[in-house]
Copies of this chain bind each other. A is one copy, B any other.
């Protein structure tokens, strides 16, 4: 499969956080900082970049800037070039990675830049919730006031009722990701929390409380991607794509058959494993999309790390903790590292690269050889998974 002829030469990340009203922390500043770091990490010059693929969900709404990929190519001084932004809700970052993969795998380009970015905090909180809600089905969900957190509450309630998943098990996911995030220098939150922190936080969408949700975050992440031949010439530690999968579902949750899990997560993972010709147990770590604790728990089951309904028990057993059999979100995940929507899918891949290079510092998963990402767009309806190998 030709997509397996693609590798990563460089990664770059900004700090993730709330940069409202901060000078030199606008959407372009963030995008350029991450991009320049990735280009430097790849040990190339800007002029070597033959294409710019930008993942951003709503730069027009959040930051008054459409045509963003052209802006980034422009400010990087690489004119003329190829430049495209991709959008698939919060999997926009992974969409950009996937599109870049296609450009390289097709032989159209040899070395390209991917940049995921979102500057979310300049609009009032109520407005950011409204902007994010446009990823739901505008015809049957949005007009009735559905928002992402309300859907998450319903899924969590049903999962608890159907499988005996407990409130504490969900809380433990947030606790784990905060503990991991405390070891990640770029994290939005570096605070270690307890189960009680979660259970005593304000109710948002019963049974989910404030600490079950990721924050609204600003930040950017970037990658330099190229053909394996090209990357092996410029990098001592090329990291290879060996599996890619992409799945969708009904956008409106009401039309689905399964309300305790996500078809699109399953499909994306299945395709990626099929392409990589690997079993679930061949994976050493995963970066999953924990925008809400219930999403990470469901992903354990949907991806097939555990059987359906057994996610909660596996949490109690510590399977996904650092030092467990399958560490999940060593980066801190969306919960603690933060979730600048369009940046997340790129940041997930960047974390796997650090881990497979052995460069993850205090959060290193020892001896990691293969990692998986799962980036979710919409409410579980546009999911992209990558499997990477050192």
Q: Which A residues lie at the B interface, using CB under 8 A?
A: 1-3, 26, 28, 57-58, 60-61, 63-71, 73-74, 79-89, 95, 98-99, 101-103, 105-108, 131, 134-139, 142, 244, 246-252, 255, 263-264, 267, 377-378, 381-382
Contacts and interface: CB of A to CB of B under 8 A. Distances in A.
A382 B83 contact: yes
Nearest to A250: B74
Contacts of A247: 80-81
A89 B106 contact: no
A277 to B, nearest CB: 16
B70 A251 contact: yes
18 contacts: A26-B139, A60-B61, A61-B61, A64-B142, A67-B377, A68-B87, A70-B248, A70-B251, A70-B377, A70-B378, A74-B250, A81-B248, A84-B86, A84-B95, A86-B87, A99-B102, A102-B102, A105-B108
A79 B249 contact: yes
Q: When A and B form their complex, which 7 residue pairs have the shortest distance between CB atoms, in order from nearest?
A: A102-B102, A80-B247, A105-B106, A67-B89, A106-B106, A80-B267, A67-B135
A103 B100 CA distance: 10
B382 A67 contact: yes
A250 B73 CA distance: 8
Contact of A73 (B28, B134, B248): B248
Q: How many subunits of this chain does the assembly comprise? A: 2
B3 A106 contact: yes
Given A79-B263, A83-B248, A138 B106 contact: no
Q: Chain A interface mostly helix, strand, loop or mixed? A: mixed
Given A2-B108, A108-B102, A67 B88 contact: yes
B88 A84 contact: yes
Contacts of A98: 84
A243 to B, nearest CB: 12
A249 to B, nearest CB: 6
A256 to B, nearest CB: 9
Given A84-B95, A85-B88, 7 more contacts: A2-B106, A58-B60, A67-B377, A69-B88, A79-B263, A80-B247, A81-B246
Nearest to A69: B88
Contacts of A378: 67, 70
Which among A80, A106, A137 has the highest number of chain B CB atoms within 10 Å?
Answer: A80
Contacts of A377: 67, 70
Contacts of A2: 106-108
Contact of A107 (B71, B105, B142): B105
A382 B83 CA distance: 7
